[in-house]
Amino acid sequence: MFVTTTAAATDPAPELPEFFDPETSAWALELVPDDDRADLAASLEDAGRNWTELAAAVSSLEGEEREAAVWLVNGMPHLDRLEMTSRTLVEHVAFAHRSRDEMPYDVPEEMFRPYILTYRIEEEPVEPWRKELFELFAPVAEREGTAGGTARAINTEIADTVEERDREFFGPRQSPILTLRSGRGTGAEISILACAAMKAVGIPSRQTRIRALGAEDGGASWIEVFDGEEWLPLYPLEPDAFGDRGHLEKEHPGNVTAVASLSAFERVLVTESYTETGTVAISFVRGGERAREFEHFAVSVWNEGALVPLDELNAIADEEGRFSALLGEGTYVVQAGVRDERGNPFVMMRETVVAPGETTFVAFDVTLDGRGAGPDPASAAGLGQVLGALVVHDLSGEPSRRMLPLIRGTLDRREANVSATYRVVGDEGNARAGEPPASVTDALTEGGSPVELGDELPVVLLYELATNEVILHQEGYDLNIGRALEIAVDARLSELLER
């Protein structure tokens, strides 16, 4: 079993103001160069009553270690500033530098702070773990002599000592020390322990995970270590797979979605290192122009019966209203949402299939104008049936079976204004979605815009009977089809009433 020790505490300076004030507590800022004082002051103010703990840690260190502590204080999340103790911060800084100075392998300088010095691995509690893990695993590093050999040996020791358990409660991850001492933890908690152990002996390390697998329930978590030449995957409970980038695809074939490595205060996508990828390219239009920097959307996968957004993708459109992401092979759902003039949410959903080496395009119109401001019902009824609708479906399968009640319910409520035609795939003269009734095809192409129908079912076409102009053309999976039809019908009826 592992042997454990306990670090000594460092008390904050006594009789200090409850909250940080740059004028009355200028001594804390005088600990750092002039150029760093504004950032440190902002961090200490953000720490609330806990500023004394952070200031005590900075004041107790000197030279390069003090600079490292200030870097951590300025970079840590707000909640960590409220919880971090002087004892914890000092231990992390001091033992990180010991590992760099005493271990038998060299670490590139640019990797020290983000991949060794940092204390935060995932969502575990902020606790001192570095001294205990250093004292436990430093002899392993001295014996092995190389970063790669040390990582492999620690990997084996953790796999032999810690067993995986299911998550049994709601709440935060347990700390790496608790996982170590109890000898059990969830997959993510064991990955946190492995990552902490590597950092403790001066090996650059970052946690790597798949938040949600594709058709397979749950996610996956492991770490990456830098062996002096490259980043290698390390699977805490499967030491024989050390360095095998194809291991995840073997374990979860066709379910590797988006892979992210996390360290310090950054997130890096590394999906292409673990599986063949395709591209999903999404574009947004608002009011006939590109919706620049649109951010109310997500790329999700079905996981354990729920749609789980892949937050690792950091989904924000660019200046051109576009966003793209590399994803593993599989089926995804792209969701985009806006609110109408009454504040009601309107969420659009598009199911898309990503294939290796291919690009799938998805487009959304997120125009707000006219949403929710329907025409006067009595006036609209006086127009009669001025719109036509074609619905091509197949009730033997999804998504037609799920969507047809939504489509029919909307069109039935507007039968005074919409003449609806329903065609089932397999009917004579309509062997596929691309072969609608000839009368409708003629109506849409005589004086209007030609329409090419694809093979994704159901197909929904809404058009104006008098002008043959197509108002809405939608194919495939969208559980918001009823709302989309309502918006399109109401908008066109409002226009006709104004003519």
- Chain center to CA of 379: 47
What is the tens place of the pLDDT at every residue in 352-364? 899 999 998 888 8
In sequence order, the β-bridge partners of residue 347 are 337
Same domain, 352 and 397: no
- Chain center to CA of 309: 6
Average pLDDT score over residue span 168-188? 86
pLDDT band at 166 (very low <50, low <70, confident <90, very high): confident
Weakest-pLDDT range from 12-16, 30-34, 46-50, 433-437: 433-437
Same domain, 398 and 335: no
pLDDT recorded at residue 475: 83
Which of 282, 304, 278 is closest to 211 using CA atoms? 304
First to last CA, the chain: 83
Rama region for 304: left / alpha / beta (φ>0; ψ in -120 to 50; rest): left
Residue 371 has pLDDT above 70, yes or no: no
For residue 431, how many other CB atoms are within 10 A of its CB?
10
Which of 361, 277, 270, 348 is closest to 312 using CA atoms? 270
CA distance 46 to 498: 56
pLDDT band at 142 (very low <50, low <70, confident <90, very high): very high
Measure the CA angle with vertex 309, ends 307 and 311; round to 5°. Answer: 165
What is the tens place of the pLDDT at every residue in 114-124? 999 999 998 89
* Residues ≥6 apart with Cβ < 8 Å to 365: 284, 285, 286
Count of domains in the chain? 2
Whether 344 maps to a domain, the answer reads yes
Residue 35 has pLDDT above 80, yes or no: yes
Structure tokens at 453: 């129908």
CA distance 148 to 446: 71
Whether 137 maps to a domain, the answer reads no
Whether 138 maps to a domain, the answer reads no
Residue 396 has pLDDT above 70, yes or no: yes
pLDDT recorded at residue 74: 96
Whether 387 maps to a domain, the answer reads yes
pTM for this prediction: 0.70
Same domain, 333 and 403: no
- Picking from 315, 339, 365, the residue at the C-terminal end of a domain is 365
Same domain, 340 and 434: no
Which of 403, 389, 353, 369 is closest to 495 using CA atoms? 369
CA distance 375 to 492: 9
Same domain, 400 and 348: no
Whether 305 maps to a domain, the answer reads yes
Average pLDDT score over residue span 141-163? 96
Which of 231, 227, 233, 239 is closest to 153 using CA atoms? 239
Structure tokens at 448: 């209007």
pLDDT band at 484 (very low <50, low <70, confident <90, very high): confident
Q: What percent of the chain has pLDDT over 70?
A: 88
* Residues ≥6 apart with Cβ < 8 Å to 495: none
Average pLDDT score over residue span 101-123? 93
437 vs 478, more confident: 478
Find the domain containing 431 and state its range. 377-498
Give one DSSP letter per residue of 132-144, joined into a string.
HHHHHHHHHHHHH
Which of 317, 320, 285 is closest to 299 using CA atoms? 317
- Picking from 309, 335, 365, the residue at the C-terminal end of a domain is 365
What is the tens place of the pLDDT at every residue in 273-327? 999 999 999 988 887 688 899 999 999 998 877 889 999 999 999 999 999 999 9
* Residues ≥6 apart with Cβ < 8 Å to 113: 68, 71, 264
Q: In terms of DSSP bridges, do strands 345-354 and 330-339 run parallel, antiparallel, or are they unpaired?
A: antiparallel
Query: What are the DSSP E strand ranges found in 249-386?
Result: 260-263, 266-269, 277-286, 289-290, 297-303, 306-309, 322-328, 330-339, 345-354, 359-365
DSSP 3-state of 68: helix
Whether 4 maps to a domain, the answer reads no
pLDDT recorded at residue 7: 41
- Picking from 336, 365, 394, the residue at the C-terminal end of a domain is 365
Same domain, 411 and 474: yes
pLDDT recorded at residue 444: 57
CA distance 278 to 153: 36
Which secondary structure element, helix H or strand E, spans residue 390, and what is its range? strand 387-393
DSSP 3-state of 487: helix
CA distance 436 to 452: 10
pLDDT recorded at residue 428: 45
CA distance 86 to 151: 30
Same domain, 282 and 357: yes
CA distance 259 to 268: 9
Residue 455 has pLDDT above 70, yes or no: no
CA distance 482 to 414: 12
Whether 324 maps to a domain, the answer reads yes
Q: Which residue has the tokens 């770490």?
A: 223
For residue 55, how many other CB atoms are within 10 A of its CB?
25
Q: What percent of the chain has pLDDT over 90?
A: 61
What is the tens place of the pLDDT at every residue in 86-101? 999 999 999 999 999 9
pLDDT recorded at residue 170: 63
Same domain, 455 and 482: yes
Mean pLDDT of the chain: 87
* Main-chain dihedrals φ then ψ at residue 35, nearest 5 degrees: -65, -20
Same domain, 282 and 305: yes
DSSP 3-state of 110: helix
| CATH for 336 | 2.60.40.10
The total number of residues shown for the chain amounts to 499
Residue 243 has pLDDT above 90, yes or no: yes
Same domain, 417 and 341: no
Per the CB < 8 A criterion, the answer to whether 292 and 319 are in contact is yes
Whether 228 maps to a domain, the answer reads no
DSSP 3-state of 333: strand
Same domain, 432 and 349: no
| CATH for 489 | 3.40.30.10
Same domain, 386 and 291: no
Residue 168 has pLDDT above 70, yes or no: no
CA distance 327 to 101: 40
pLDDT recorded at residue 41: 96
pLDDT recorded at residue 487: 81
Which of 141, 168, 143, 140 is closest to 2 using CA atoms? 140
Per the CB < 8 A criterion, the answer to whether 419 and 385 are in contact is yes
Weakest-pLDDT range from 230-234, 237-241, 339-343, 376-380: 339-343
